[in-house]
Amino acid sequence: MTLGMIEVFKGAGLLIYPLGACSAIAVFIIFERIYALRSAAILPPDLVDAVMHGRPLVGGRHTVLSRIVEFAEQHENDADSLKAFARLEVNRMERGVPYLDVIYAAAPLLGLSGTVTGLLQVFSGISPDSNGLPDPVAFTKGVALALSATVIGLSIAIPSLIGSGYLQRRIDNYAAQLDVLLERIINRTRK
């Protein structure tokens, strides 16, 4: 890490710790959800094909669609409870994503708080030189370091916002596909 980066982190003051926690949590949620929302774990192609073409429902064990199929087989002729169960599965897919919304709202505010406290320290520490003027180099360096907290907060918020949008769109796509498959499963259990 360069000396400049260390100074930027020091400029954030004590708020670097909650900002760091926000960053770590956001990275964990994004990568965990990307892994959990891969199509093989949600809608395995072999099971989707079997549902769509009325073939025996085998394959894709331990996936969202297999849990829905298993629930449908255990609760035949109960379309309402099957739809409720499918909504619960979609809700499980969203696990963690709302926290990204909190992070992308909170991180810039934490950064702004660090900037404000840093600016207060800079302005309270102004001491005039022999001419009665503050040292411009020390003043501008202090302001620049105070602004580093906002930069860090924004650099956490922007990837969290993008990750949240991407994951939510992916979940919405899966939910739409599950709606179609759910109708096929309901029609199948009525026969």
Phi, psi at residue 134, to the nearest 5°?
Answer: -70, 155
Give the pLDDT confidence of 39-74 residue by residue, as tens digits: 989 988 888 888 887 777 666 568 899 898 888 888
Residue 154 pLDDT exceeds 70: yes
User: What span, in angstroms and rounded, lies between the C-alpha atoms of 80 and 186?
Assistant: 10
User: What span, in angstroms and rounded, lies between the C-alpha atoms of 144 and 138?
Assistant: 10
Q: What is the mean pLDDT of the chain?
A: 86
Helix (H) or strand (E) holding 25: helix 16-36
Give the pLDDT confidence of 95-139 residue by residue, as tens digits: 999 999 999 999 999 989 888 888 888 787 777 666 666 777 777
Which tokens belong to 97? 């994503």
Sign, Cα dihedral of 146, 151, 157, 161: positive
DSSP-derived letter for residue 38 is: S
Contact between residue 38 and residue 116 where contact means Cβ atoms under 8 Å apart: no
Which tokens belong to 10? 């020091």
pLDDT > 90 in the chain, percent: 42
The SS3 assignment for 130 reads coil
Per-residue pLDDT band for 173 (boundaries 50, 70, 90) equals: very high
The SS3 assignment for 174 reads helix
Question: What's this model's pTM, rounded to 2 decimal places?
Answer: 0.82
User: What span, in angstroms and rounded, lies between the C-alpha atoms of 73 and 111?
Assistant: 52
